[in-house]
Amino acid sequence: MRLKKETGQTKYKKKLANIITKFIAVYAILIVISMVILQNNSFAKDDKDKRDVESEFISSIDMVIDILEKDKDISDYANAYKYIYYKYTGDEDYKAELDFSAYDMSDYSSVSNSSNYEGKNIAPGVLALRDRILKEAQKCGIKDYIDVLLALVMQESGGSSGNPDYATNYDVFQSSESKGLPPNTLKTDESIKQGVAYFAGQLKKCKYDVDFALQAYNFGGGFITYAKPKGGYSKENVTNFAKKQSGGKKRDPNSSMAKNAGIWAYGDQNYVEHVRQYLTQTQKSENGNAIVDTALKYVGNKYVYGGASLTDGCDCSHFVWLVLKEVGAIPKNAKYLNTSGIMSSAPSSWKCKKIGTAANKAEPGDIIIYRPGKIHHAAIYIGDGKIVEAQSSRAGITSNRTLTHEAIAGIFRPTM
């Protein structure tokens, strides 16, 4: 009996020692966070800059902190500290590599991933700047987002409209203010350097969600801090943030500004849509295209709550299930799942791959689950920022709403 008791005590002591080690590791990381925030805050010009510094650094360490909190083992804590510092500052003296291959990194997409966007209707004046923009994008590690950057320039400066100074003396990214300068201070090369770096920073903080990063480019880093706990980019979050920042002040509803940029007197509430008019999303999957083509056949048909017919009426989750069954994109014996069921069981029951929550990861044919508060709606992504869905009894089956009209709870890709 005594030997058994001692063995139990030994196990307890080992477990306690492990907990203490984890606590010390997390505590040490938090000290590093505080030190770097203080260091960078000393260079911040105002409270907004300080908030942006804190938001950027906290976002950059999410990956390491999440792994530590989930009790996963990173034995080389010294390298973990260096990794955190390097990810934020870019200081090569602290560059360290950590092996995350054993972990689910679906929420931390790599910067090397393609953005899945191609430019369209890009003006010759902007195309002439492509190599200069690409050079800065390569420095910032976002060369795959070159078409998004060209579209951003189209929105910010319109492609010159014959301005002879456009290529040399023009704030093409309208990035002067992000550097704390008066509007239109920067010349072309300076504007490109600042604009690309600023967008790259927002993109990384948004975990490479392009729509989220674009809106943050217009609204500033405060939007990331506001929207991240609420699911990231959505029209609801955009509207509510603009209302908050405007102090409830509205634009003249008859003004062109209100019609173009939104009713609240703050920023461009339609900025993502404005940039997206210069982008098209590439389609990669033949299976995804088949799902989209099949789903679109039923646009205009009725929505019926609890209904299970694509022709006579169905609700959102039945719509997704029936379309996937018709295409053969899920197992023949796959049973119907409601919206919550898709969220929890699609990988096992429907053989779907969980992609994450970032809108820019979605490909045509993916299942999209929404949660403005609780999980409540399912749709199918069709590309170019749009979804097809059994929307409501009033609207029926539609394909006109945007992918990011509400906060995304999950994206699932059929693999059969």
416 residues of the chain, pLDDT tens digit each:
344 444 555 655 566 666 666 566 666 656 655 555 555 444 444 444 444 444 444 444 555 555 554 444 444 555 665 666 655 555 566 565 555 444 444 443 333 334 567 888 999 889 989 999 999 998 888 888 999 999 999 999 887 656 777 888 899 999 999 888 999 999 999 999 999 999 999 998 888 888 999 999 999 999 999 998 888 888 899 999 999 999 999 999 999 999 999 999 999 999 999 999 998 866 556 678 889 999 999 999 999 999 999 999 999 999 999 999 999 999 888 999 999 999 989 988 998 988 888 887 888 999 999 987 788 899 999 988 899 999 999 999 999 998 988 888 899 999 87
Strand partners, 381: 387
Contact partners, residue 398, CB within 8 Å, separation at least 6: 299, 388, 389, 391
Distance of CA 363 to the CA centre of its chain: 14
**Which pLDDT does position 149 carry in this prediction?**
96
Q: How far apart are CA 186 and CA 179, in angstroms?
A: 9
Domains defined for the chain, CATH in brackets: 12-94 (no CATH), 117-280 (1.10.530.10), 284-414 (3.90.1720.10)
Q: How far apart are CA 47 and CA 115, in angstroms?
A: 33
Whole-model pTM? 0.55
Distance of CA 300 to the CA centre of its chain: 31
The answer to whether the CB of 330 falls within 8 A of the CB of 290 is no
The tokens describing 275, both together, are 């940039």
The tokens describing 56, both together, are 């950027």
Backbone angles phi, psi at 99, to 5 degrees: -90, 105
Q: What is the CA radius of gyration of the chain?
A: 24
Backbone angles phi, psi at 367, to 5 degrees: -85, 135
The answer to whether the CB of 231 falls within 8 A of the CB of 408 is yes
Strand 377-383, strand 279-281: pairing: unpaired
Closest to 60 measured CA to CA, from 89, 31, 38, 35: 89
In the chain, the amino acid numbered 292 is V
Distance of CA 174 to the CA centre of its chain: 22
The answer to whether the CB of 274 falls within 8 A of the CB of 262 is no
Block residue for tokens 């950027």 = 56
**Which pLDDT does position 31 carry in this prediction?**
61
